[in-house]
Amino acid sequence: MEEADDMTQPTGPVAERLAQTERDLAEIDEQVEQGELDAATAAKLRRRYETERAELLAAAEGGDEPTAEDTSGRLSGRWLLGVGAVLVAIIGIGLWLVASNTEDNSAAEGVAGDVIAGEGVNLDDISNEQMEEVVAQNPDVAPMRLALADRYFAAGDFSNALTHYLYVLDTMQIKDPAALANVGWMTFLSGEAALAASLVEESLQIQPDGGIAFWYLANIRANGLGDAAGAVVPLQRLLEYENLPADIRTAAEQLLADVEADE
């Protein structure tokens, strides 16, 4: 009986991937405790890794070895887990969203002033609830709706962010590059890497100087599509920005080293 058990014990690449998956699962709990991952993202990642673990165990029982295609989609579990936290940090700083440009933000402030106070108002002084009222009364004023969507996105409230982004993109038929990029990132987190890549690529076609969109695309290609080579150029473009925050620069440099080694 013991001999039979030994025969199904994972070995080689399967054992290595299984050990990495177990580490990834443990790291999810650590990052949740440290506030680096929100509960929704953690749940999605946990389901992904638990599914992978089950597939690996089944492969071990059947004596199968993973193919190159099976292993190409993973660079580093720790890296993938950290992506969401780093993005939230950069968005929270407010320096690097490919959101509405200065002209759009000024228009949004004007709408807020007209509807709420009858004069110019700083959006920072307006609550989400007040902004929702403004949007409800002015449903087709895209800058105000995008400003609210950006705020939800920065807070990790993807459900509300998606509602407003999709209204602009689908109902109003406005191809806002920031909205496309951010919806692309949320799509990636939901597990649809191919669709996510197409959305971010469309964003960069509209706004070639895409800022954070390069970060999204690099991660989607490397961690979602297993395309290490395709992540190199977006990362190089990202690192050209002089005002790139230090934590993002460090993470981008590390990912660039990873994908170049993986080519």
- Rounded distance between C-alpha atoms, residue 65 and residue 150, angstroms: 44
Residues 6+ apart with CB under 8 A from 112: 121, 123, 126, 130, 131, 134, 144
**Residue pLDDT, tens place only, 197-216:** 999 999 999 999 888 899 99
Report the pLDDT value the prediction gives residue 98, as an integer from 0 to 100. 36
Min mean pLDDT across 27-36, 81-90, 140-149, 170-179 is at 81-90
Q: What is the Cα–Cα distance from 94 to 99, expressed in whole angstroms?
A: 10
The H or E element that residue 202 is part of is helix 193-206
Tell which wins on pLDDT, 126 or 236.
236
Kindly state the tokens that stand for 139.
């449903």
Span 80-131, pLDDT tens digits: 434 444 444 344 333 344 333 334 444 444 544 444 444 455 666 778 888 8
Distance of alpha carbon 239 from alpha carbon 214, whole angstroms = 9
Q: What is the pTM of this model?
A: 0.60
